[in-house]
Amino acid sequence: MEIFQASLFSAEQYELGEGAFWWPERAVWCWVDILGHTFYMQDPAGRRSTFHIGEYVSVMVPVAGSGELLLGLQGRVVRFSPEQGLGRMLTVLDGNPGMRCNDGGCDPAGRLWIGTMHLITQHDNGALYCVEGNRPPVIRLAQVSIPNGIVWKGDLMYFTDTATNMIQEYRYDVEKGTVSQPRRAVTVPAELGSPDGMTIDSEGMLWVAHWGGRGVYRWNPVSGELLAHIEIPALQVSSCIFGGPDMQDMLITTAREHMTAEQLQQYPLSGSLFHVKLPYKGLPVNYFKY
C-alpha cells in the first residue's frame, strides 16, 4: 500500500471543516465550516476571502456559464457569487428546521444530487435528492442517515451513507437521472473510521476521507482493495478534492466536532486544512446546467 504525507495548508481550526472544492474559473480553493456558517475561498498566493452565510452551509457546485456557485444551506439550495453574495433560491429540499443539507455534486448531465440529514437524530431521516434545472427536487434514495461522497464514472455512481461504513455502487442512467442495481463496492473496517467525503481519480479509483480514521484512503471500487493512505495528523477527516492547474493537488478538511479534551490534546491540529501533491490526477468538476 502506498503511503503519502499531507502538509498543513491552514492551521485555522474549524469546528466542522467540509466541502473541499476547486473552482476552476477563479483558480481558488473553497471550503466551509458547516457549524461556523462560513464559506471560504483562497487563491494559490494565499489570499483568502471569508463569507459569513448566517446558516449551515455544506456543499458547493459551479453553475455553467455564470461564474456562480450553488450552495447547499440548511434545507435549501441558493445561488452565490463572491461579488453579490447569496442570490435567488434554486429550490427547497426539506422545510423541516431539524434538517440540513450535507454532501452533494453534479452528475455528467448537469443535475444536482444533494443529500439531507437530521441535525440531531442521524438515523434514516435524510434523503438523496436530484434537482434537474428548475424542476422540483426528486428523492432518489430515501432513509439515508449521513449522505456523503457522491461521484460518477461512466454509467456508475458511487455514494456513501457514512452510518453504514460502506460505499455503494449504483448503475446510473444519464438520460433519466436515475440509479439502480446497488452493489457494495467497499466495506470500511471499523478500525479505519467511517467513509465521509469522496473524490475520484482519472483511473477510476476512489479517494475517501475517513471520519475517525486519521486520513484519506484510496480504494479500488471494483475489487474493494485498499491501495493507498494519505496520513493526516487529525482524527476526523471530512472531505477531499483534487484541484490545482494539473489536477494533482488535493485539499483535505478536518473537524473538531464531538472530540474529547483528551482527543484534542492528542490531535491538536484537528479542524485544520491539509494539502498533498499526488502522482495521480483528479477529474474535472461537473457543472450544474439549467
Q: Would you put residue 124 in left (φ > 0), alpha (ψ -120 to 50) or beta?
A: left
Q: What angle do CA 16, 160, 71 make, to 5 degrees?
A: 50
| CA 143 to each of CA 114, 128, 210: distance values in angstroms, whole numbers, following the listed order | 14, 9, 22
The grid coordinates of residue 261 equal: 479534551
Which three three-digit cell numbers place residue 193? 473510521
Residue type, position 81, single letter? S
Task: State yes or no: is 196 an active-site residue.
Answer: yes
Q: Judging by DSSP bridges, how do beta strands 226-231 and 2-5 pair with one another?
A: parallel
Q: Report how far residue 233's alpha carbon sits from residue 5's, in angstroms, rounded to the nearest whole number.
A: 9
Active-site option among 103, 196, 201, 249:
196
For the annotated catalytic residues, the residue numbers are 196
